[in-house]
Amino acid sequence: MKVAHKVVLHFPPAVVEQPVIYILSRDYNLAFNILKATISQQEEGIIVLELSGEDKDFKRASKYLKKQGIRLQPLLQDIRKNEDKCVHCGLCIAVCPTDALLAERPSMKVNFNADHCVVCGECVPTCPVRAMELHF
């Protein structure tokens, strides 16, 4: 059975150097389409990509990734910031693995940049006033 999954891969700093995506394609016959790639504040590598291929290959590939210490997270839908609710406390900044949430200086207002968001969902339960909303 053919499948296509949008996923987020989180690479610990030690494996950032390895040609993981190449291996996924060579050894697991998965076609890939990279949507976003970035290095987080914690120096974790993050790649958002679409993987397509046979279901069993995808499952084998998931195991391989896990073994490498790479966290595989399914891409959720869409994250939006409700500006009416946001109090610009910045709590979300600490959990955002990319630069999607940053405090603007000198205003100290917290800006959401959807282009950098990998929809990991971390900010949603972290925001104390639930201003970060997940839309399906």
Distance CA 109, CA 50 (A): 33
Residues 74 to 93 in contact with another protein, rule: CB under 8 A:
87-91, 93
Cβ 136 to another protein shortest distance, Å? 18
> What, of ligand SF4, another protein, none, does residue 37 touch, CB below 5 to 8 Å by kind?
none
* From 63, 77, 78, 128, residue interacting with another protein (rule: CB under 8 A): 128
Residue 74, preceding bond cis, omega within 30 degrees?
A: no
The site that binds ligand SF4 (CB under 6 A) totals a number of residues, namely 27
| Residue 24 · residue 32 · CB < 8 Å | yes
User: Which residues lie near another protein (CB under 8 A)?
Assistant: 41-42, 87-91, 93-95, 103, 105, 107-109, 125-126, 128-130
